[in-house]
């Protein structure tokens, strides 16, 4: 069959055999994310028409203003996962604490937990710029039959069984990995199905795009400042092109296709950076590595970091392997 005609649903079933623990549960889980993605997509697409733009008037536990669509997306993904009784716990950027899900017969017998950033780049919604959703899936470490505990959520990124993102862009795409490469699916809005459009996505080994909020330059560590100057220098292969959308998912997606580096470093204002290890950096790092790229905090592999709290932040350098290695060499100096 022509690859372009494979739907995400078919792909999930075809690839079930690759899962280390094949029981169909992970397939069902990804299917429910697919469903939630379509619902959120529908809302995001008509955001200017219905009363869904703007701030909700609340802040999340991290002190950030919540947008109405942050809350909406959070509810849609939560209910898609809870109603289908396939996960035992959820943690979300928009929730203060993790959520325990009892599952069938209130038995706490489900194996998987999901961590998510339901709407990434939400400050871009009101101005019609692409936003996204990021998700990360683990097996619980506590025994079945008991409510999930914090330790189920505080696993290293290297323990992820699947991760992905949805980008609500000029077209809507779902990109995910279950540890056997990265595949991208584009939504055909007329039919409501995702089709395999980007099989086996790979980061070019190097590229010429750098993405970082240079407005914070004065607050960056010296290594980052020096790397920015390196990117801007007039050389055979440089200056690089600077691109920054301000939605990590979109910046990342472009860089994975074109070749580039995305950096959200520490700064004197935010010593641990801005992006969240569990909801943003680990899933993006898993996809990066599965696509042949590299993701570090400037010194250490993101997926080797032992999390200590749910909402913790971490600096991130991710993208084409040669570019990340070059940036790391500046961080060492």
Contact residues for ligand AHG (CB under 6 A)? Answer: 64, 93, 117, 120-122, 213, 246-248, 274
Cα 13-86-305 angle, rounded to 5 deg: 90
Structural contact between residues 142 and 150, judged by C-beta atoms closer than 8 angstroms: no
Residue 213 contact, options ligand AHG, Mn ion, none, Cβ 5-8 Å cut-off depending on partner type: ligand AHG
Rounded CA gap, 214 and 225, in Å? 9
CB of 290 to Mn ion, least distance (A): 20
From the list ligand AHG, Mn ion, none, partner contacted by residue 247 (C-beta under 5 to 8 A by kind)? ligand AHG
CA distance 43 to 37: 10
For Mn ion, give the closer residue by CB, 93 or 297: 93
Residue environment code for 138-171, b if the CB has 16+ CB neighbours within 10 A, otherwise e: bbbeeeeeeebeeebbbbbbeebbbbbbbbbbee
| Largest separation between any pair of C-alpha atoms in the chain | 65
Site string for Mn ion, 109-148 (x = CB under 5 A): --------x-xx----------------------------
Minimum CB distance to ligand AHG, residue 94 (Å) = 9
Question: Is the Cβ–Cβ distance between 3 and 11 less than 8 Å?
Answer: no
CA angle (34 as vertex; 32, 35 as ends), nearest 5 = 65
- Residues that bind Mn ion (rule: CB under 5 A) add up to a total of 4
In the complex, least distance from residue 244 CB atom to ligand AHG, rounded to whole angstroms: 7
Nearer to ligand AHG, 31 or 130 (CB): 130
Least Cβ distance, residue 89 to ligand AHG (angstroms)? 20
Q: How far apart are CA 14 and CA 250, in angstroms?
A: 28
In the bound state with Mn ion, the residue whose beta carbon lies nearer, of 204 and 283, is 283
> Which of positions 61-100 make contact with Mn ion (CB under 5 A)?
93
Pairing between strand 131-139 and 316-319?
A: unpaired
Q: Output phi, psi for 160, to 5 deg.
A: -60, 140
C-alpha dist (Å) from residue 69 to 50, 56, 94, 168: 11, 8, 11, 13
Cα separation, 257 vs 306, whole angstroms: 30
Q: Shortest distance, CB of residue 123 to ligand AHG, whole angstroms?
A: 6
152 binds Mn ion (CB under 5 A): no
Q: Which is nearer to ligand AHG, 93 or 328 (CB)?
A: 93
Contact characters 199-238, Mn ion, x per CB under 5 A: ----------------------------------------
To the nearest whole angstrom, how small is the minimum distance from the Cβ of residue 333 to Mn ion? 30
CB of 321 to ligand AHG, least distance (A): 21
- 265's contact among Mn ion, ligand AHG, none, with CB below 5 to 8 A by partner kind, is none
Q: Which is nearer to ligand AHG, 122 or 320 (CB)?
A: 122
Do the beta carbons of residue 254 and residue 260 sit within 8 Å? Answer: yes
Contact residues for Mn ion, defined by CB under 5 A: 93, 117, 119-120
């Amino acid at each position: 069959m022509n690859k372009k005609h494979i739907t995400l649903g078919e792909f999930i079933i075809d690839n079930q055999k690759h899962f280390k623990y094949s029981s169909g549960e992970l397939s069902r889980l990804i299917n429910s994310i697919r469903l939630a993605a379509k619902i959120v997509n529908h809302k995001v697409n008509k955001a200017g028409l219905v009363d869904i733009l703007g701030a909700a008037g609340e802040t999340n536990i991290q002190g950030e203003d919540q947008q109405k669509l942050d809350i909406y997306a959070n509810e849609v993904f939560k209910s898609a996962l809870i109603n289908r009784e396939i996960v035992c716990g959820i943690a979300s950027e928009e929730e203060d604490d993790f959520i325990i899900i009892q599952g069938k017969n209130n038995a706490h017998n489900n194996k998987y937990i999901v961590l998510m950033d339901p709407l990434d780049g939400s400050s871009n919604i009101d101005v019609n710029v692409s936003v996204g959703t990021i998700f990360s899936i683990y097996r619980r470490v506590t025994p079945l039959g008991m409510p999930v505990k914090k330790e189920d959520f505080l696993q290293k990124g290297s323990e992820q069984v699947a991760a992905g993102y949805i980008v609500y862009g000029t077209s809507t795409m779902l990109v995910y990995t279950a540890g056997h490469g990265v595949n991208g699916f584009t939504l055909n809005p007329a039919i409501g199905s995702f089709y395999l459009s980007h099989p086996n996505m790979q980061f070019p080994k190097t590229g010429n795009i750098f993405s970082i909020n240079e407005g914070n330059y004065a607050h960056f560590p010296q290594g980052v400042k020096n790397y920015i100057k390196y990117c801007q220098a007039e050389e055979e292969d440089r200056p690089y092109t600077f691109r920054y959308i301000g939605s990590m998912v979109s910046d990342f997606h472009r860089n994975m296709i074109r070749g580039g580096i995305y950096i959200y470093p520490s700064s004197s204002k935010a010593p641990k950076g801005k992006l969240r290890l569990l909801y943003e950096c680990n899933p993006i790092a898993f996809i990066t590595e599965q696509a042949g790229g590299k993701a570090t905090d400037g010194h250490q592999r993101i997926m080797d970091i032992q999390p200590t709290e749910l909402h913790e932040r971490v600096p991130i350098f991710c993208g084409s392997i040669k570019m990340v290695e070059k940036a790391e060499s500046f961080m060492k100096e």
